[in-house]
Amino acid sequence: MYTGLIGIAALISAGISNTLGTTPQLMASIALTLVAVGVLGYTYSSYAASGPGIKNNGVMFRSLTQRGVWAYASAVGLTAFYILLYFFDSQLEGIIRGFDPLSKMLSGNPASQWFVYGVLYTLAILLFGIKFIVKYRHSRYQIIRTISVMFFQLVFAFLLPELMARLNGDLPYYDLKNMWPLNYYLFDQYAVDGFISAKQLGIGLLLFGIASIFIISPILTYKFGKRWYCSWVCGCGGLAETAGDAFRHLSDNSVRAWKLERWMIHSILVLITLSTVGVVHSYLREGEGDYWLSADLFLGLFSLVVILIVSLIYFKRKEWLAKDAKRSILIIGALIVGLSGIHFLSDSYHVFLIPTYTLRSAYGFFIGSIFSGVIGTGFYPLLGNRVWCRFGCPMAAILGIQQKLFSKFQISTNSGQCISCGNCSAYCEMGIDVRAYAQKQEPIKRASCVGCGICSEVCPRGVLRLENTANPNQLS
């Protein structure tokens, strides 16, 4: 662990060393090597040296994992890093230059702050992925799932986009596994134009992007639950599962937190949907004739889809929904359709009464940067490892709705075997009170469940099993 700390210190000093005239490349390589040795050494001494099995001894006693001084120190450090990255990247110049050789090798371009972030992010998933695999080596589900997140991060999020940039300079950065609304900028004008100008490959990617939302993701979620994405493929999920694993028990599993979660995640989903529709509408309108789709037709189609989805949810799954959920679905549906209607009548430039580009940049700043980065990752040691996934991610919201409405995935309980010990609820990174269901002998069918399977691992009585065989039309 201490070697890792020295490595991080070395990385910081690499930034300073630039001004001292030493070679930042050398410092960067030394720093990354030290971090790697640190993480692997910790893995060996904490997990590999003892036998396989659940190793949670002392989790609730340690300063780093129980909101002690070390936890606050790491949160401050991580947050500072994000703030530098987003707003003061010139301060990172020394570090960034250290990554030039690697960047030139991959894309041919010099490194940017985002390239450095990508390298560190990928390295974190790979190193802590190894730690996770060693820690849970008694479970093949955990091993295979972790290899999957490591693979998708390394190849799809990191290597492929860099190589694609080398092959076709016009293409916007595109991580194939990231779907709208997680990459909310997919349908922004610059991106769409970029895709279109990149000819067949670009148009193919754009179509793939649309297909992933409307066809691929519902089918996979129907078969496997949202876990196929959130804990097998997604990069945010990948970091949470690997680097964030030590903090999973910090997620608040009170009913109050659950309420807040539903409000927040669904509001963000509505916000991002409205702003995307607004942005698309306004550039379709400005460039009427440039695209095959007209602005009004687009808006009409969108309203139709909203009406369809709202009525499907409302009539088909009425009995599942709590009163407040039913009411909010109706209100939101009516609001969206109503606003679109007003637009047709009033002929205003802004679809939803707000300037959509302002909305978009506000979203990018508050949600895309501050929430997903600073709070989502920087606060791992304080709020748990899935804060972003749980309270902020609009993609998780959509997949969650799908999971709740029509998935075959559930966590089954083994009849009356639960002893209410609380390990499942404590180690659920999504803050689901798993025990509340298990002790009533009910299956767990929650929108937020990412299917990491740790509840089933830590259960001392073998009560929980992740399954794809539920009847999607039955609640319990």
Partner 1 sequence: MKEVFIIGNGVAGSTLALNLSATDSFRVHLISDESDFFYSRTALMYLYMGHLTAQQTEPYERNHWEKSGVNRIRGRVFALDRNAKTLTYRDVEGNTHQKTYDILVLAMGSLPRFLDWPNSTLKGVSGLYHLKDLEAIEAYTEPTKCKEAVIIGGGLIGVELAEMVHSRGIHTTMVIREPYFWSSVLPDSDAQLVQKHIEAQGIHILTETEVSRFSSEDGQQLSGVQLNSGKELSAQFAGVCIGVTPNTGFLSESGLTLNEGVVVDEYLQTSDPSIYAIGDCAELKHPSTERRAVEAVWYVARQMAETLSKHLIEGRAAYEQKHWFNSAKFFDLEYQTYGQVSTSSKRKNSEQHFHWHPKNQSKGITLSYRAHDRQFLGVNTFGIRLKQSVFEQWLNASESVDTVVAQLDRAHFDPEFSKMYYNDFRYAFLSNNG
Q: Tell me 16's DSSP state.
A: H
- From 13-21, 101-109, 192-200, 430-438, span contacting partner 1 (CB under 8 A): 430-438
In the bound state with partner 1, the residue whose beta carbon lies nearer, of 57 and 294, is: 57
**What's the min distance (Å) between Cβ of 456 and partner 1?**
6
Select from 26, 73, 80, 144 the one that contacts partner 1 (CB under 8 A).
144
Could you tell me if residue 347 is left (phi over 0), alpha (psi between -120 and 50 degrees) or otherwise beta? left
CA-to-CA distance for 46 and 33, rounded, in angstroms?
20
Token representation of residue 396: 């998780």
Select from 75, 123, 191, 466 the one that contacts partner 1 (CB under 8 A).
466
Q: Residue 292, interface with partner 1 (CB under 8 A)?
A: no
In the bound state with partner 1, the residue whose beta carbon lies nearer, of 119 and 466, is: 466
Residue 116: other Cβ atoms inside 10 A: 23
Amino acid at 236: C
Contacts of 172 (CB under 8 A, 6+ apart): 190, 191, 194, 195
Beta strands at 464-467 and 410-413: parallel, antiparallel or unpaired: antiparallel
CA-to-CA distance for 45 and 124, rounded, in angstroms?
19
Phi, psi of 240 (to 5 degrees): -60, -40
Token representation of residue 199: 């000819």
Q: Residue 140, interface with partner 1 (CB under 8 A)?
A: yes
CA-to-CA distance for 18 and 387, rounded, in angstroms?
36
Q: Residue 416, interface with partner 1 (CB under 8 A)?
A: yes
In the bound state with partner 1, the residue whose beta carbon lies nearer, of 281 and 445, is: 445
Distance separating the N- and C-terminal Cα atoms of the chain: 45
**What's the min distance (Å) between Cβ of 46 and partner 1?**
14
Q: Binding pattern to partner 1, positions 120-139, x when CB under 8 A?
A: ------------------xx
Q: How big is the site for partner 1, counted in residues (CB under 8 A)?
A: 42
Q: Residue 456, interface with partner 1 (CB under 8 A)?
A: yes
Q: Which of 271, 257, 226, 298 is nearest to 450 (CA)?
A: 226
Q: Do 235 and 155 contact (CB within 8 A), yes or no?
A: no
Q: Residue 161, interface with partner 1 (CB under 8 A)?
A: no
Of residues 181-240, those binding partner 1 (CB under 8 A): none
Of residues 55-114, those binding partner 1 (CB under 8 A): 56-62
CA-to-CA distance for 293 and 196, rounded, in angstroms?
14
Select from 93, 439, 442, 472 the one that contacts partner 1 (CB under 8 A).
439
CA-to-CA distance for 369 and 86, rounded, in angstroms?
7
Q: Binding pattern to partner 1, positions 242-281, x when CB under 8 A?
A: ------------xx--------------------------
Q: Binding pattern to partner 1, positions 44-63, x when CB under 8 A?
A: -------xxxx-xxxxxxx-
Q: Residue 417, interface with partner 1 (CB under 8 A)?
A: yes
Q: Do 65 and 85 contact (CB within 8 A), yes or no?
A: no
Q: Residue 469, interface with partner 1 (CB under 8 A)?
A: no
Select from 180, 425, 445, 450 the one that contacts partner 1 (CB under 8 A).
425
Q: Residue 465, interface with partner 1 (CB under 8 A)?
A: yes
> Which residues lie near partner 1 (CB under 8 A)?
51-54, 56-62, 138-141, 144, 254-255, 414-417, 419-423, 425-426, 433, 435-436, 439, 453, 456-458, 460-462, 465-466
